[in-house]
Amino acid sequence: MSDQPITDLSEPRLASSWSAATGSWLPAVILLLVTIMAWEAAVRIFAISAFIIPAPSEIAKSLVAQWGTLMQATLVTAGEILFGFLVSVVVGIAIALLIVRFDWLGRALYPLVVLFQNVPKVALAPIFILWFGYGLAPKIGLILVIAFFPVTLSMLAGMQSVDRSLLSLMNSVGASQTQILFRIRVPHSLPNLMAGTKIAATLSVIGAIVGEFAGASDGLGYVIQFASTQLDTALVFAALLLVSVLGIAFYYAAEILERIVVPWAPKFSQS
Amino acid sequence: MRIETIRAAGDKPAHIRHDDLISAKGVSVVMARQLILRNIDLSVPKGSFVSLIGPSGCGKSTLLKVLAGLVQPTQGSVSIAGLAPIEAARKRMIGLVFQDANLLPWKNAVDNASLLLGIADKSLSRSDLRARGQEMLELVGLGDSAHKRPNELSGGMRQRVAIARALALDPAVLLMDEPFGALDAITRDSMGQSLLEIWQRTGKTIVLVTHSIDEAIHLSRHVHVLGIKPGRITESLDIALPYPRDLSVTEDPEFVRLVVQLRTMLRSSHQPGGAS
């Protein structure tokens, strides 16, 4: 189509880091603003009912009007996510360590863990409500069953991908399995583990909201469900916005954690 | 010092010559129903530099693993100063270097250099290990890179750390499996030269697996040629060039003659050998 010489592509871009950063963000921000404006315009022009699709301005109004309630709900949900996420990471790591350290346990546990992965865990929510009531426990339980698996699986992959020659070196000087585990396998698995942790952070948000849908008297999931029964769609969207903000916040928190824990790991993003 | 204690051990089996540090007798290895090595006799004199060269698939790496105690021979026996290889390794008599440096990316050069020593000798404190690691890094010419992580080091520098890690054990023998195989030609030459200097300074016995004819002749005192199907030693060549050698040795007419001779030997080693 274009008869531009291909060599243009390989020319270095001498942009400053600031303009490089805005350059990478700018298109997304512009698209977002355009979408919001088109949305606002469409709702007004076609006079769409506010309980079908509220205009962005209505959502903003609702956000301001219900700010106190929404913040309180956000705090509750954030607490569930954080607690559930931490439990998932701890349990996920523990299972991975047990599988690698004790061969027989690994052979027993691993197939069951994979099998359990095929259970639609969202469907466990009512059962957890039945067992644990309406408090924090069923949400933590649900987050755990949803989010531990990527942690376990990524850490296992990392621990099992240690180079054979390195293991030969360790064996040749008489290293014990425990030494190999904690001095080689575990630190070697950290980049993988952190990747799994980021997935778990995202899944924790889903787990918390689903848990609140199934039965809760507080939290953003509860607000969404309550507001939708009241046909207060603007409030539903406002809560949805806050859930998304929480999700993004947890994801980036996990990413910052990754940079602190594994500064030696190759960076995949923003190269 | 280590070498003195080995000599003091004295009561070795009769078939070991007194100046042989490593002796393999009738070693055969069968893996997955395939004869990888057949009836290998190899003796490595103490303090010498021996290369094993041969085409891919000749089992030269397997032979090195047998010497290191990482592979058990199906038949035959190996002794290192009168000990089985596994025992010798446990007594820190074997230093291993592979093609991949296999450094731990989360540790700096000095901690990588002392890693194996720390596992082999639990009595050493952290500062003892650091001091030993630093000493070894200086020996391999990386004294001022002690605090760099592997991702800050070039391929050649990483391999120097791997050599330092093996030397930190103060082994009697250094077993090296194509240690410079992944490096570019110029780095390779300078690494070879450094290895020669380290060898002469420390008096270690070195067994080097290589597929480079120049490298084998430049560095070693004895070269053993391995043939394929099955892997066996087809010929041996003494390199009479005087030490110390530097890269100018490659222009020596004797060097050129040896290259031709070794190349001819290697060509015939590509012919599968029948039963014998």
Q: Is A126 among the domain residues? A: yes
Task: Flag whether residue B148 sits within 8 Å of chain A, measured between CB atoms.
Answer: no
Quick one: DSSP state of residue B83? B
Domain ranges for chain B, please list them: 1-34+44-93+171-276, 104-170
Same domain, A74 and A24: no
Considering only CB atoms, which chain B residues are within 8 Å of A172? 68-70, 89, 94, 96, 116
Give A21-72 as a DSSP string. HHHHHHHHHHHHHHHHHHHHHHHHHTT--TTTS--HHHHHHHHHHTHHHHHH
Structure tokens at A195: 């990747």
- The answer to whether B59 touches B29, Cβ cutoff 8 Å, is yes
Q: What per-residue confidence (pLDDT) applies to B229?
A: 78
A181: closest CA of chain B, how far (Å): 13
pLDDT in tens, B130-143: 999 999 999 998 98
Architecture in CATH for domain B1-34+44-93+171-276: 3-Layer(aba) Sandwich (3.40)
Same domain, A80 and A35: no
Distance CA A55, CA A80 (A): 30
pLDDT in tens, A93-143: 999 999 998 989 889 988 998 888 888 888 888 899 899 888 899 999 999
CATH number of A142's domain: 1.10.3720.10
What share of chain B in percent tops pLDDT 70? 92
Same domain, A149 and A187: yes
Task: Flag whether residue B87 sits within 8 Å of chain A, measured between CB atoms.
Answer: no
Same domain, A41 and A175: no
Structure tokens at A100: 């690698």
The yes-or-no verdict on residue A42 having pLDDT over 60 is yes
Considering only CB atoms, which chain A residues are within 8 Å of B70? 168, 171-172
Which string of b and e fits B100-139 if b means at least 16 CB within 10 Å? bbbbbbbbbbbbbbbbbbbbbbeeeeeeebbebbbbbbeb
pLDDT in tens, B151-192: 999 999 999 999 999 999 999 999 999 999 888 989 999 999
Q: Is A4 among the domain residues? A: no
Q: What per-residue confidence (pLDDT) applies to A21?
A: 62
Q: Is A232 among the domain residues? A: yes
Same domain, A117 and A214: yes
Residue B261 parent element (H or E):
helix B253-269
Per the structure, the count of domains in chain A is 2
Hey, are the CB atoms on B106 and A262 less than 8 Å from each other? yes
Q: Is A269 among the domain residues? A: no
Q: For A32-57, what is the mean pLDDT?
A: 91
Residue predicted with more confidence, A18 or B101? B101
Same domain, A138 and A30: no
Distance CA B216, CA A35 (A): 69
Same domain, A203 and A234: yes
**Closest among A208, A98, A106, A91 to A150, alpha carbons compared:** A91
Q: What is the mean pLDDT of chain B?
A: 87
- In this prediction the ipTM stands at 0.82
B70 vs A172, A184, A265: nearest CB = A172
Distance CA B148, CA A165 (A): 22
The yes-or-no verdict on residue B216 having pLDDT over 60 is yes
Confidence of residue B16 (pLDDT cuts 50, 70, 90): very low
Q: Is A10 among the domain residues? A: no
Hey, are the CB atoms on A264 and B106 less than 8 Å from each other? yes
User: pTM of this prediction?
Assistant: 0.80
Interface residue ranges in chain A relative to chain B, Cβ cutoff 8 Å:
163, 165-166, 168-175, 179, 183-184, 187-188, 190, 262, 264-265
Size of interface A-B (CB pairs under 8 A): 53
Query: Before B73, cis peptide (omega within 30)?
Result: no
Q: Which residue of B has its CA nearest to A170?
A: B116
A217: closest CA of chain B, how far (Å): 47
Q: Which residues contact B197 (CB under 8 A, 6 or more apart)?
A: B244
Range of the domain at A216: 56-261
Q: Is A230 among the domain residues? A: yes
Same domain, A32 and A160: no
Hey, are the CB atoms on B104 and A188 less than 8 Å from each other? yes
Q: What is the largest CA-CA distance in chain A?
A: 78
The yes-or-no verdict on residue A166 having pLDDT over 90 is yes
Same domain, A106 and A228: yes
Q: What per-residue confidence (pLDDT) applies to A235?
A: 94
Same domain, A71 and A31: no
Q: Where are the alpha helices (DSSP H) in A215-270?
A: 220-229, 233-261
Q: Is A164 among the domain residues? A: yes
Q: For A162-180, what is the mean pLDDT?
A: 91
What amino acid is encoded at B175 in this protein?
L
Q: What per-residue confidence (pLDDT) applies to A116?
A: 87
Hey, are the CB atoms on A264 and B120 less than 8 Å from each other? no
Q: Is A187 among the domain residues? A: yes
Q: Which long-range contacts (CB under 8 A, 24 or more apart) does B28-37 make?
A: B28/B73, B28/B74, B28/B75, B28/B76, B29/B59, B29/B62, B29/B66, B29/B71, B29/B73, B29/B74, B30/B74, B31/B62, B35/B230, B36/B62, B36/B230, B36/B231, B37/B62, B37/B63, B37/B66, B37/B73, B37/B230, B37/B231, B37/B232
Q: What is the largest CA-CA distance in chain B?
A: 56
Considering only CB atoms, which chain B residues are within 8 Å of A179? 119
Hey, are the CB atoms on A166 and B102 less than 8 Å from each other? yes
Same domain, A146 and A222: yes
Hey, are the CB atoms on B116 and A190 less than 8 Å from each other? no
**Closest among A158, A182, A152, A157 to A170, alpha carbons compared:** A182
Most A CBs within 10 Å, among B102, B104, B147, B153, to test the A interface: B102
Same domain, A146 and A164: yes
